[in-house]
Amino acid sequence: MTSITPVILCGGSGTRLWPKSRKMLPKQLLSLTGEQTMLQQTLERVRGFNRPIIVCNEDHRFMVAQQAQDIGFEDFTMITEPAGRNTAPAIAFAAISAARHDESTNLLVLPADHLLEDVESFHRAIDVGLQKSTSGGLVTFGIIPTAAETGYGYIQKAEGEDGQVLPIAQFVEKPDKATAEQYIESGNYYWNAGMFLFSAKSLLAELASHAPAIHRTSVAAIENAKVESDFVKLRLEDINAIPEDSIDYAVMEKTNRGFVVPLACGWSDVGSWSSLWEALEKDKAGNVALGDVILEDCKNSLVFGEDHLVAAVGIEDLVIVDTKNATLVAPKDRAQEVKAIVSKIKTAGRDEHEIHREVVRPWGKYDSIGSGPRFQVKRITVNPGASLSLQMHHHRAEHWVVVSGTAVVERDGEQIMLSENESVYIPIGAKHRLSNPGILPIELIEVQSGSYLGEDDIVRFDDVYGRN
């Protein structure tokens, strides 16, 4: 049986889907097109193949692991990047790791944040691609275009070629409308979906030939990585030494072993709110309503409400996305321009591009429900069996009130058991930790007070999750 090792690329920040997708909770970790997150949907497509390799940002490792485990993927390898260097190094890391066990295994490389409706057609295309990948070919899957799309790159097949596996003539950048229409009319072009199939051995050989600096530094990064069970943690100094490049530029545009398998499978990269609107089921007026939404006389719009009612009257062709601490309103045909808003938020020194009001942590989550001069109030949820780090703060004191559950609090060596409606005070400078020994989540309210309330005012002495 031919060996197939899925490689799931789970990096990226998804800024075009702001304010729902943000740096610390990007679109691949969100449930946008169904009950499962986009990462979970991607993993479901490769169930039954070899244990997957997931390459992700170090900041997301706990969420990625939890989401995989939640759908029954207990056996996987995770490679974490402290900084992104584009797809060529990410794929190289996976290929180097896989080759240590079986250099002939076929790597099925998939972005974690794409929508793919017809999985059976996709699996048939994989079987077709194996005809070339097992003999040294580098295969990509080209989506048969349904429109003159200007938001995607294209792959041109070799002139005069027909069949299920076609030699690649060239990769082309995102075209203007007129050029895209010419591509569609010719029948020789496919959307570049960023999905690949090649053996680990072949990919590494081509990478060494066409991008030797990436190959050399990626090998060094894997050799120097900290390995804990199936968790491979790359070092920042090694990552910074790797040239940044995509697999298209580094290898696929230069190799003479490239092939494309045409594929029609209901694919979308869900790269903007307008493309999400196109991908989702609509009401009779063409609206997509997500969350707690009431619409009156609205047409062809997407309205998203996160935790309270969003109502709209008489709108048409709009995107409205409301979250706990940011709201976006934009014409649907200008949804791509949300990146300019994200850029302005960064320039202004704000943090809404990076984190939500509700922040996920390895032990649970917290929601910043109120703040003012010298105080902040959070609602904290601690998962069963979980524990915060042993820590202290230089600039703030904290008061914890348990709403539900039973907590064990360590404060300067003292053990305190707290039940519902009980509280504890943590003075400035006190070493403290909160743990949940029970089988139900703990809910508590934390009131912080002090001269500085930033998340960087944490000195950790011990942490079960390996955070500094």
380 occurs within a structural domain: yes
* Same domain? 287 vs 264: no
352 occurs within a structural domain: no
Q: What is the CATH number of the domain that holds 35?
A: 3.90.550.10
CA distance 132 to 422: 66
33 occurs within a structural domain: yes
From the list 289, 287, 314, 321, the residue with the least C-alpha distance to 301 is 287
Q: Which of 343, 370, 393 is the last residue of a domain?
A: 343
CA distance 385 to 438: 6
* Same domain? 412 vs 292: no
The stretches of 246-394 forming alpha helices (DSSP H) are 247, 273-279, 338-347
* Same domain? 323 vs 367: no
Residue-number span of the structural domain to which 76 is assigned: 4-268
136 occurs within a structural domain: yes
Taking only the tens place, the pLDDT of each residue in 243-289 is: 999 999 999 999 999 999 999 999 999 989 999 999 999 999 999 99
Taking only the tens place, the pLDDT of each residue in 328-374 is: 999 999 998 999 999 999 999 999 999 999 999 999 999 999 999 99
* Same domain? 243 vs 392: no
271 Cβ neighbours under 8 A, 6+ residues apart: 16, 17, 151, 336
Contact 225, 232 (CB under 8 A): yes
161 occurs within a structural domain: yes
* Same domain? 44 vs 93: yes
* Same domain? 167 vs 72: yes
Taking only the tens place, the pLDDT of each residue in 200-256 is: 999 999 999 999 999 999 999 999 999 987 789 999 999 999 999 999 999 999 999
Q: Which of 219, 244, 268 is the last residue of a domain?
A: 268
CA distance 287 to 295: 9
Contact 111, 192 (CB under 8 A): no
348 occurs within a structural domain: no
* Same domain? 162 vs 258: yes
**Torsion sign over Cα 37, 203, 249, 93:** positive
* Same domain? 262 vs 397: no
* Same domain? 338 vs 449: no
Number of domains in the chain: 3
179 Cβ neighbours under 8 A, 6+ residues apart: none
Residue 215 amino acid letter = H
* Same domain? 149 vs 174: yes
* Same domain? 81 vs 104: yes
Q: What is the CATH number of the domain that holds 393?
A: 2.60.120.10
287 occurs within a structural domain: yes
273 occurs within a structural domain: no
Taking only the tens place, the pLDDT of each residue in 157-206 is: 997 677 899 999 999 999 999 999 999 999 999 999 999 999 999 999 99
* Same domain? 321 vs 236: no
